[in-house]
C-alpha cells in the first residue's frame, strides 16, 4: 500500500481509506473487526467514521461505528492507525444536540474520544455546513481542540467551493487552524459536483481530498446491469442508483470498464478506483464493505496503473456525469 501526505500536512495516509458507515448497521461487530483486520493486513492505515453512524437504524442511537472501532483499536498499535471522524449531526436531544457550535463540537469530541477509546483524533471533520453558527465560532472550537492535543488536524465534508474558500480565509484572518481535507461526493459516475470548482480549489490550496462513494453506491462494481437493475443491496434505492440504472450512457461506460478490467484481470470496481486515484487532486478514496470478501475485491486497486489512453477513454465515456 502506497502512502501520501494528506493536504498541506506531514500526516501520511494510505492511498485507500476504510469507510465504516456499515459498522453497527449491515456489519455486526465481529464482521466489522474482520474487515478492520483485513484492511490493516493490506496496509490500509486510514479509517473514516462519524459520530452519527448509524443513528438511522431502529434501536441505534449513533456512535455504534465509533464504539466498534474503539473496541478494535485497543488491540492495535495506536500510533500506526489514522482515525478520522466527523461532527455535526444530532447526537442528543436538546437545543445543542447538533450543529457546529463551540458547545456541540467540544462535547461531541469528548464523546467520540470515549467511544474510540483513544486520547486523540487524527482528523476531526465538520460533517456538513451549519448555517446557524458563525464560521469564526466553529473554527475557534476546532482550534481549541487542536491546541489541547485532542485533535491533530481538521477537515470538512460536503462543503461547496465558496464556503470552503471562505472558511480558509477566516482561518487565515483569525490565525486559527484551517481545514486540511475535504470529503466530497465524487466518483467516475458523479463528477461535476467536485470537478466544476472544488477540484481546482483543492489543488491550489493544497487541500487533501478523500472522496466518499467512489464506487457510485455500488454501480461502479458492475452489479447493476441492463438486465438486473435491482440486485440485493442496501443502496439499490438511492437516488444516484436510480438515475444510473436507467441511463444508457452509464451502461456503455460500464461496458468499457468491463473491457479494461478484463485486460488487467481485476474486478470492475478496481478500474473505477484506479481512475479516481489517477486524478491529481485525490489523496485517498473512502471504500466501504459489509463483509471481508467485498474489501478483497477492491483493495488491489492501488496496484492498477491505467494507461493514458485508458484514462482518457474512461474520462470521455463519463464526461456527462
Q: Where are the domains of the chain?
A: 3-183
Catalytic residue among 53, 124, 212, 224: 53
pLDDT at position 233: 55
- Torsion angle (degrees, nearest 10) of CA 277, 178, 190, 57: 110
Give, rounded to a whole angstrom, the gap between the first and last alpha carbons of the chain: 29
Going by C-alpha positions, the residue among 289, 300, 249 that lies closest to residue 25 is 289
pLDDT at position 10: 94
Rounded to an integer, the average pLDDT of 53-67 is 96
pLDDT at position 23: 98
8 by DSSP, 3-state: which? Answer: coil
As a whole-number percent, the residues of the chain with pLDDT over 90 amount to 93
Query: pLDDT-based confidence at 232, cuts 50/70/90?
Result: low
Mean pLDDT of the chain: 96
Alpha-carbon distance of 291 to 62, in angstroms, equals 21
Rg (CA), the chain: 19
pLDDT at position 176: 98
Domain 3-183 has CATH 3.20.20.100: yes
Is the distance from CB of 188 to CB of 276 less than 8 angstroms?
yes
Does an H or E element contain 144, and which? helix 135-147
50: its cell numbers: 462519524
The length of the chain in residues reads 321
Per-residue pLDDT tens for 197-211? 999 999 999 999 999
Strands (E), 158-290: 179-183, 208-209, 286-287
| Sheet architecture: strand order including 179-183 | 208-209, 179-183, 151-157, 121-126, 82-87, 46-48, 17-19, 286-287
pLDDT at position 156: 98
Residue 231 has pLDDT above 70, yes or no: no
Please report how the helices 102-116 and 135-147 are oriented relative to each other, as an axis angle in degrees rounded to 10. Answer: 40
Asked if 53 is an active-site residue, the reply is yes
Alpha-carbon distance of 18 to 192, in angstroms, equals 24
pLDDT at position 282: 98
Per-residue pLDDT tens for 138-163? 999 999 999 999 999 999 999 999 99
Query: pLDDT-based confidence at 2, cuts 50/70/90?
Result: confident
Amino acid at each position: 500500500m502506497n502512502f501520501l501526505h494528506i493536504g498541506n500536512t506531514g500526516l501520511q495516509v494510505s492511498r485507500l481509506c476504510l469507510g465504516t458507515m456499515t459498522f453497527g448497521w449491515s456489519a455486526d461487530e465481529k464482521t466489522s473487526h474482520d474487515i478492520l483486520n483485513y484492511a490493516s493486513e493490506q496496509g490500509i492505515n486510514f479509517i473514516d467514521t462519524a459520530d452519527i453512524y448509524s443513528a438511522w437504524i431502529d434501536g441505534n442511537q449513533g456512535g455504534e461505528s465509533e464504539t466498534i472501532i474503539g473496541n478494535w483499536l485497543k488491540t492495535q498499535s495506536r500510533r500506526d492507525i489514522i482515525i478520522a471522524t466527523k461532527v455535526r449531526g444530532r447526537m442528543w436531544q436538546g437545543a445543542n444536540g447538533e450543529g457546529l457550535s463551540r458547545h456541540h463540537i467540544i462535547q461531541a469530541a469528548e464523546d467520540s474520544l470515549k467511544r474510540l477509546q483513544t486520547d486523540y483524533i487524527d482528523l476531526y471533520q465538520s460533517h456538513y455546513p451549519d448555517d446557524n453558527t458563525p464560521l469564526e465560532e466553529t473554527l475557534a472550537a476546532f482550534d481549541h481542540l487542536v491546541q489541547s492535543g485532542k485533535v491533530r488536524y481538521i477537515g470538512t465534508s460536503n462543503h461547496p467551493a465558496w464556503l470552503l474558500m471562505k472558511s480558509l480565509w477566516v482561518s487565515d484572518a483569525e490565525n486559527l487552524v484551517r481545514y486540511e481535507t475535504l470529503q466530497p461526493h465524487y466518483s467516475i459516475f458523479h463528477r461535476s459536483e467536485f470537478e466544476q470548482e472544488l477540484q481546482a480549489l483543492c489543488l491550489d490550496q493544497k487541500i487533501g481530498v478523500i472522496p466518499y462513494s467512489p464506487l457510485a453506491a455500488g454501480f461502479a462494481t458492475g452489479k447493476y446491469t441492463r438486465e438486473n437493475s435491482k440486485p440485493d443491496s442496501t443502496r439499490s434505492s438511492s437516488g444516484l442508483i436510480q438515475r444510473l440504472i436507467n441511463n444508457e450512457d452509464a451502461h456503455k461506460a460500464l461496458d468499457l470498464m468491463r473491457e479494461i478490467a478484463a485486460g488487467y484481470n481485476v474486478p470492475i470496481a478496481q478500474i473505477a478506483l484506479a481512475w479516481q486515484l489517477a486524478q491529481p487532486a485525490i489523496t485517498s478514496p473512502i471504500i466501504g464493505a459489509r463483509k471481508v470478501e467485498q474489501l478483497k475485491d477492491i483493495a488491489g486497486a492501488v496496484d492498477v496503473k491505467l494507461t493514458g489512453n485508458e484514462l482518457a477513454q474512461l474520462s470521455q465515456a463519463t464526461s456527462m456525469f
